[in-house]
Amino acid sequence: MSLTWSQLEDMPLLDIIGQGETRHTEFKRLVHSPVKIAKSIVAFANTEGGIILIGVDDDKRITGIHSEKEMLEIVHDAVKLHVEPVPHIETEVIEYKKRLVLMVIVPESSDKPHYHISTERDNDTLKKVNRKKVYLREESHNKVASPDRVFLMKSAGDPLKLSFGANEKMLLGYLADNTSITAQEFSSLAGIPLQKAMQTLVALVRSGAIKLCNEGQKSYYCLHNF
């Protein structure tokens, strides 16, 4: 069973490493690029929080870091330049057998979604453009969140407005006879714009009537007993 990041935070370094890479832990032998470690920071902040250990190899060997100052600058640049909005993080340097490990503690954020900002070259224009993606932590990997998941995260802080009209009755009736439905399918079924369909679906998810599931990059909605 994967421990929470807060439980891990109170554990000795060797015990954390002994858990291996999980939903809440990631090991990095070295970090050269702020934009790369920013993905992990975004994923942990958007999910349940986590700890990044810099100076630990994937096979759990403590390799250590050569420059505490350099690693801290890279982490600082990652948060400042490649994450929006800026999340709260903490850092701690731990020494083990004369080797230094940088622990980056990323609590679950109350200001979701956090976006990963990167600069890429557009294939058509060849100009550099900013790309914004939302990452989530799934098992020991960072995955791009689906538009439905991002929409749900954005709505979490809004007051819940739920009506139970013809569209909602149609949706629950459909799900009683079918295992799942996508936002696009519900939009077509109810004859309403996709944005309105997503608003209805998300309101029902937040009320507990249905749940949002993901299969790769595909999102769909179903009743809780499926």
Backbone angles phi, psi at 107, to 5 degrees: -70, 155
Q: Is the pLDDT of residue 226 over 60?
A: no
Range(s) of the chain covered by CATH 1.10.10.10: 152-222
CA distance 47 to 78: 18
Numbered ranges of CATH 3.30.950 in the chain: 5-145
Mean pLDDT of the chain: 91
**Sheet-wide strand order for 128-133:** 83-84, 115-121, 128-133
> Tell me: the pLDDT tens digits for 21-31?
999 999 999 99
pLDDT at 156: 83
> Residue 2: its pLDDT value, please?
58
pLDDT at 71 over 60: yes
Q: Residue 130's pLDDT is what?
A: 85
Tokens coding 152: 């749900």
Report if pTM > 0.85: yes
CATH 3.40.190 fits 5-145, yes or no: no
152-222 has which fold? Arc Repressor Mutant, subunit A (1.10.10)
Integer Cα distance of 103 and 33 in angstroms: 17
